[in-house]
Each structure stands twice: as C-alpha cells, then as structure tokens.
A and B are shown apart, each in its own frame.
Chain A
Amino acid sequence: MEACHGHGKEKESQDLPRVLLFKPPPDFHLFGDECFSSNKFKFLKAWESPLPLDQFLKTHAQSVEAILSSGGAPVTAETLRLMPAVRLVMTTSAGLNHIDIAECRRRGITVANTGNVFSEDVADLAVGLLIDLLRNISASDRFVKQWLRPRQAAEGDCYSLGIGSKLGGKRVGIVGLGSIGSLVAKRLDAFGCSISYNSRTKKPSVSYPFYSNVCELAANCDILIICCGLTAETHHMINKQVLSALGKEGVVINIGRGPIIDEQELVRCLVQGEIKGAGLDVFENEPDVPKELLALDNVVLSPHCAIFTWETFKDRQKLVVENLEAFFSNKPLLTKIVDND
C-alpha cells in the first residue's frame, strides 16, 4: 500500500508544471527554499545541475513554459532560444532591464514583474537617503560612534559638526514620475518641497510643472531624484551637461539603476565640488563602488537594497506564487508589464 501511495505522489509531482530558476533568488537565502512553493507547480533549479546552462536547458527545459527570474539572473535572447515552450517570464523585480523584452515580444512571451508591491519601500529609501544626505545622519552617526571623523569638522570645531542643509523649500526634480516617482513626490510635498518632473510624456492629471528634458529640469531644481527605469534612452542620461546644470548647490539621489548616471562624471563632480552631494542605492558595476566615494562625507551609500524589507519580501512572494498559479490555470495574471510612460 505504501509503495502505491509513494508512487502516486511521485506521479503527481511529475505532472506538476515546472518553472525554471537560473539562480537562487535572494528570497531563498532569507526565507529558505519553500518561500515560493505551491502545490500547483514546481521549480527546476538550473544551478543544481553540473551541466553548463545551455546544455542543461537543451536536456531538461524543452517543455518548460515559465521562467522565474530575479535581477541577478538575466533572461537573454540566447537563453530564450534554448527554451521553445516558454510562454511566461516572471521577474521578482520591478525593473526589466535584465530581460530581453524585444525578444519576448517577438515570441509572444508574457513578461510579468511584481508591480507596485514595493514602490513605497523604494520611495521611502529615496527620501531617507535625501534626509540623511542633507542632515548628515550617517556621517554624524559614525562620528558619534567614533568610527570615522567627518572631514568638514576640524578638530574641536563644534560649530560645524553635523550642521546640514534645510530640506523645506527646496526644489525637487523627479526623473520618471511612475509609481515610485509619484510616491516620492507625495512624501516630499509634506516636507515643504516644491516638485517638478521629467518623464517620457507629460502627465495630464498631475499639477507639478513638467520639463521636457532632464537638463532643463536639473537647471531648475536643487535636488534631482532618479526614479526611472534603465533603457537605451536613459543610459547615461545624467551626464556632464545635466550635472553642470544641477550646479554646485545641487544634490542627486539615485534609486533607479546605476547606468542611468555617468558614474565617472558624477564622481569627478563630487570630488571637485561641482555638485554638493549624492545619495546612491545603485552603481554602474555593483558591487564595485568607486573608491573616491568611500572617502566622501557628502555622499550616502546603499548596497542596492531599496526593496529589502521584511514586508516587501512577504508581499512579493505572495504575488509571485499567485501569478504563477494564475498562469498555469489559464487565468489572468495579477501583474503584467505595463508600458510605463
């Protein structure tokens, strides 16, 4: 009887549709392997095989219909070509720059992300980095805890230690007024900042002033906050010209993607005092951070962790499982990619 029972269960499991994972998502480290589990599908874990990826896919993934990707596991055209049955690419991130969207479109593959489940956490980090930067929170904390002495406070100079710059009344320019950018605007509005923005298209329902190019936005604000996605158009969009327009009293906050900013140029401007400071969660070559930044007190650095809160992990696990279950039941997905303006 037991043998039959065991055989039955194995058969059931064999019938479950499979979802390909290239690499373990960050959630696995924190919550264990069961955090995306469901009785409606099972995972095919590419990293557990000794085979190189393309061989693995040719051998084991020919009938796989769904891929679960995270930022560290790009979905390229080459990979997709090795998986003829794929109809869905689900990513745990909001960003899509690690997925060959054009190839997916060409093949009619649905792409789904985790929507706005963590937009608030990202917006909160943008505001946190900004206040930290203007009010020297991290710099003061490490000084008080006697880790590192702030460079601008000379020995015995009690006057300037921790003295920062007022947030209220400052002009904030938001680059990309999507779900994250809008939440940033709502928050900074309450601090008495005036908001303006640049986006691919003007938003008719929004009353904030719109600037059709980033340079003009930068010239008219004190604080530039990067909230857009990384595309061919936005690559190195924040360049020498934009930083120059932002000026000596300007600061930039980046919670988008590192390559949106010409990092070399940014570093040069910071070191030479051509802009006042920066708060950065993302970098061009993570986890490498330009060593010049590590020595500056007018930057706040964060290791690409804007979405790393307990709540976001829980919310997105639920969303991923619900989307995959919906997919395999031929029901509509809860989140698909929306073409953001």
Chain B
Amino acid sequence: MSSHNTVSFSEARRVAVFGGTHGNEMSGVTLVNLWVKNGAEIQRKGVETKPFITNPKAVEKCSRYVDTDLNRAFTPENLSAPGGDDLPYEVQRAQEINRLFGPKGSPEAYDVIFDLHNTTSNMGCTLILESSKDHFNLQMMNYIKKAIAPASCPVLLNEHPLLKYSTSRSVAKHPVGLEVGPQPQGVLRSNIFEAMRVILKHALDFIELFNEGMEFPPCTVDVFRVSERVDYPRDANGNIIAMVHPNLQDCDWEPLNPGDPMFQTFDGKTIHYEGAGTVYPTFINEAAYYEKQQAFVTTRRETLVASAIRKA
C-alpha cells in the first residue's frame, strides 16, 4: 500500500438524498418527505444537500414502480431516448433526474447521491458501491463503518459486467446506495428507520470533514463482490417449484458451503448448494426479485485498498 499517492477530489458541494426510487420502500420515502419539509438535519457547512423523491407516482401508489423499475432505467439508451410523454413513466423520470442531477458522466453532475432503499432480506445496513476504484466512496464507507462500530455495515460491491445495473444514483460522480432491511414493502419499522438515519448522518459528517480539508490516510475496506445470480428452481413451464430453505433464510452475509441446504420444494424436499467453493449470499428472498429471476446473489469476500484522499 503506497502512502505517497494521495488522490485529490474537488469539494463535494452538491449532494442529493434520493427516496422513493421504489415507491414501497418506506424508510427513504418517509425520511426524504420529512427533510423536504425541514432539511436542517441533513445540512452541513459548505454543502448543498437536496432531498428528492425520485418516483412520486410510485410513492403515491405505494408500489415499486408504475411502468418499469426506475433503478434499472438509467441506461444510455433510455437517457437519450426521444418520445417525451410516450415513453414509460420511469424513463421520463430518469431523463428528468439526469437533467436535474447530471448529466451522468459530465463535470456538471452532482458530487454525491445517496439513494435510500429497503429490502425484505436480512441485510442489516448495507452500503452499495458501484466501483472498486472510487477512493472517495471507499474512504466514506470506511469512515461510516468505524463510526458505527461495533455495529456492522457490510459493503456490497456491484461491479459485475453483466449483473451491474443502471441506478438512479449513477447520475452522480460518487453514487452511494443505502440498503436497509429486513422490512416488508409498504411497512415502516422504527428500528430500520433510525438505522438509515444514523448511517446517513455519518456519511454527511464525512463529507463536511472532507470539505474542511481533513486528509484521510490510506485504508483497507472489506467488501463483498457480487459474483452470481441464483434463480429459484423452476419446472418446464417456468413456475417456481421451491422456496429458500429455512437454513438459508435470513442468513445474508453468512458463508454458504457446497452441500449446504439452499431450497426446499413445496412438497418438502431439500435442494443443496452445489457450487465450487464457499460463497456469501445476500439479497436472500427479496420480494422484488421474484420477477427478476433471483432468489439470492452470491458474493465473494475481498479487501480493497483506498488511497489517501484530500480536497483539491
């Protein structure tokens, strides 16, 4: 690890907090609505922090989306698609969000976007990272992890060329996903709500310290790198024939070894994991992923090195 290569970033002046990217993930919807009314809690010196409901129609219906998943909609094709009002609602929203907070990939884009999500999976407070080379985000996540210790905060790295998806937050230079669970869709649980609030507080504290000139020394960050999507077993007609096994249910981030029970058929038989080695599953039994053919995703543990950073 070289301590000579300090990476400089410009001050993070423009920060957004997105809620309601999925309209039935209630912690983010509620927090952002509160902060739109009174944003004192999320303000930091020298930072303009904008709370924003990304999918208001889905929020009103308390459904994940109206036409298509907003958190998959920020592809280059969608962002440049002509058609205006004829486009699916979420594609129109993606273009609007890209205008307000982007354009994605340009120097005018927002510095940081926090996207607030809930999951029915037992993932605790997970931070989602989109690039292993984003030293600013790595340092932020290191800061958050230390701030909440001994409580833990797993970091999910989704850099997989096929499984990576075009998120709302990807419009920003430094996209950060907050995924807190387990919480049913449409339900607001106090413990989940408070946990998300605390994580975001530490994240904003980090930004304030960074902007004030604090230098963050090199560090390592343990992450779980997305490896493979595992679907439910299905019959010849594509119907699901088994459920996540009771031994795997709620065991996000715990090792799954070859031979361990993985699924239980509706008539009671066990299907075992037959991978080559130990993996760390997550997003186990997420309600929204039945239609995306995903029972869980496997990850592998990795340690990333973050360079020292300071403001330019």
Do A and B form a real pair?
Answer: no
Interface of A toward B, CB cutoff 8 Å: none
Interface of B toward A, CB cutoff 8 Å: none
